[in-house]
Amino acid sequence: MKLSIAIASLAAAAAQAHYTFPSIGNSADWQYVRTTTNFQSNGPVTDVNSEQFRCYERNPGTSAPGIYSVAAGSTVAYNAKASISHPGPMAVYIAKVPAGQTAATWDGKGRVWSKIYQDRPTLGNTMTWPSNGVRSINVQIPRCLQNGDYLLRAEHVALHSAGSVGGAQYYISCAQITVTGGSGTYSPKNLVSFPGAYSATDPGVLINIYYPIPKSYTPPGPPVETC
Ligand SMILES: [Cu+2]
């Protein structure tokens, strides 16, 4: 009896505990990350075909105040607020800003995104997710990137109610960065667009993670690129 009450209240708390990804490095919230539609509600995107699926921007066309400088090959923290409180995979994508634009002006449209980070669950009697409860993801910026401006897109997929189509929740934001010191040989094999890269029926987003416990897991989207 006590246990069932405890579980019920835990489930209720988890349903409330949405999150955002408002900052990178040690910077202030929304200084280098474009303000997202959920900056107050913390709620998710649930439609993979929505324009909001790209950067979840509150005011598309309005950039963040700054562009964050990062050395190729270094590790940058992409921070969650307050913490990643739902189970599911974390991914980070990057897109090179075309000539004539900057990370503050470009909208990130087109087949321009490649995946540079993906975590995976530990499988067993439960699925254990590396990002569960954490406040920050450490992302290595590929050492082989070309120098210049990029958009960096953080995405956490919450799978706690993903057993029906459209049940997966996407927590997304885009940071404006400029990369220095890259070797310049980055040549991604799999470029995708947002929206477009995911389908609501992809096996990694249409999945009951609780019963029966899956024996394998395939994250949505392309493989992680290597230098
Ligand atoms: Cu939530």
> In whole angstroms, what is the distance from residue 202 CA to residue 204 CA?
5
N residues, the chain: 227
Q: What is the DSSP string of 113-169?
A: EEEEEE--PBPSSS-B-TTTT-SEEEEEPPTTPPSEEEEEEEEEEE-TTTTSTT--E
CA of 16 to the centre of ligand 1 (A): 5
> Each residue of 106-135: pLDDT tens digit?
999 999 999 999 999 999 999 999 999 999
> Each residue of 191-203: pLDDT tens digit?
999 999 999 999 9
Helices (H) and strands (E) in the chain, counts: 2, 8
> In whole angstroms, what is the distance from residue 172 CA to residue 163 CA?
21
Show the DSSP H helices in 17-151 as ranges: 52-55
CA of 159 to the centre of ligand 1 (A): 10
CA of 14 to the centre of ligand 1 (A): 6
CA of 209 to the centre of ligand 1 (A): 16
> In whole angstroms, what is the distance from residue 173 CA to residue 98 CA?
20
> Each residue of 4-29: pLDDT tens digit?
444 444 444 445 579 999 999 999 99
> Each residue of 28-83: pLDDT tens digit?
999 999 999 999 999 999 999 999 999 999 999 999 999 999 999 999 999 999 99
Q: What type of residue is 77?
A: A
Is 66 exposed, middle or buried, given 0-12, 13-18 or 19+ CB atoms closer than 10 A? middle
Instruction: Give Cα 193 to chain centroid, integer Å.
Output: 14
**Domain residue extents for the chain:** 18-180
Is 195 exposed, middle or buried, given 0-12, 13-18 or 19+ CB atoms closer than 10 A? middle
Instruction: Give Cα 140 to chain centroid, integer Å.
Output: 14
- Predicted TM-score (pTM) of this structure: 0.93
CA of 175 to the centre of ligand 1 (A): 22
CA of 85 to the centre of ligand 1 (A): 7
CATH architecture of 18-180: Distorted Sandwich (2.70)
Predicted pLDDT at 17: 77
Predicted pLDDT at 9: 44
